[in-house]
Amino acid sequence: MLLIGDCFEKVKEIEESSVQAIVTSPPYWGLRDYDNDGQLGDEDTPEEFAQKLTLFFRACKRVLKDDGTLWVNIGDTYFGAKGGHWEGGNSITNDETGGEYRMQRKAPPKHVRLKTKDLCGVPWMLAFLLQSDGWYLRQDIIWHKPNPMPEAVKDRCVKSHEYIFLLSLKPHYYFDYKAIQEKAIYVGDNRASRGDSRRDVDLAASMAAESQPTGEFRNKRSVWSINTAQSREAHFAVFPEKIPELCIKAGSREGDTVLDPFMGSGTTASVAQRLGRKWIGIELNDDYARFINTKTAQKELF
């Protein structure tokens, strides 16, 4: 079910305690134009942005089941004119919605803490606000991007990660750890690991050479190496399917309902449907509804 409009209003239309997992990637602060007044990400300061998101997720508590979870992928940004974006992070946008928007964006008001070129710290700003608002902050997952966007920067490293926060309403919640287990790796015996002092022994190389799959499984680690994806139709980078797949598998059962209140191109909905879950999406931009409907071509699930 796709709801088109302002997320604060549309979430009121969702039945109470009907959603098992919320899996979403909110807009960046100051990065992209969604062609709507009052859009998230257009606030003057990152604090206002994080506070607004916190208020929205507070409204989501009503629709989330007591044992449900909230999975939030949130990107960071730099402070300054043009939204601080000398680079585009994970977002590839066309000139109208991305580059021109950032170029025309005025410098934010003088900030008590942030200086031009400062990394704002939006992910942890949001995480701490959600924690203060009663959510249990259960984990920070690192999304490592093996194929990050190139950056013409010479005074810092190229950014190749984002955060995914796992939050819950209660200290105990539904989490299917077996559904996302990964193959275990056995590290063979080597003299270097036993303290062999020979200088020509490269411990890392030795371990890699002697490592082999065991056929058994281990619990999923908190660093997820997943390539970014891009939508040819929408001209911007999209949620790679593997991210919502892991979140949905761990956070819900077949037949459960998954909510993405910032639906974008519809990746969460498409993956939820493939995994046998029902889905609800909220999207502010009418044009994106076409991408979502094309991607899902959803049969009636309600």
| HSE-up of residue 66 (Cα within 13 Å, Cβ side) | 1
Provide block-wise average pLDDT over 10 residues at a time, the chain (302 residues).
93 98 90 61 88 97 98 90 46 44 59 89 97 98 92 89 97 98 73 48 48 75 91 60 97 98 91 97 75 57 44
DSSP 56-105: HHHHHTTTEEEEEEEEEEE---B-SGGGG-SS-TT----IIIIIHHHHHS
pTM: 0.81
Helix (H, G, I), strand (E, B) or coil at 11: helix
Backbone φ and ψ of 48, nearest 5°: -65, -40
pLDDT for 28 equals 85
* The CATH number of domain 2-179+220-296, selected from 3.40.50.300, 3.40.630.40, 3.40.50.150, 3.40.50.970: 3.40.50.150
pLDDT for 85 equals 43
Map out the domains of the chain as residue ranges. Answer: 2-179+220-296, 182-218
pLDDT for 300 equals 47
Residue 32 CA to residue 76 CA, distance in Å, equals 13
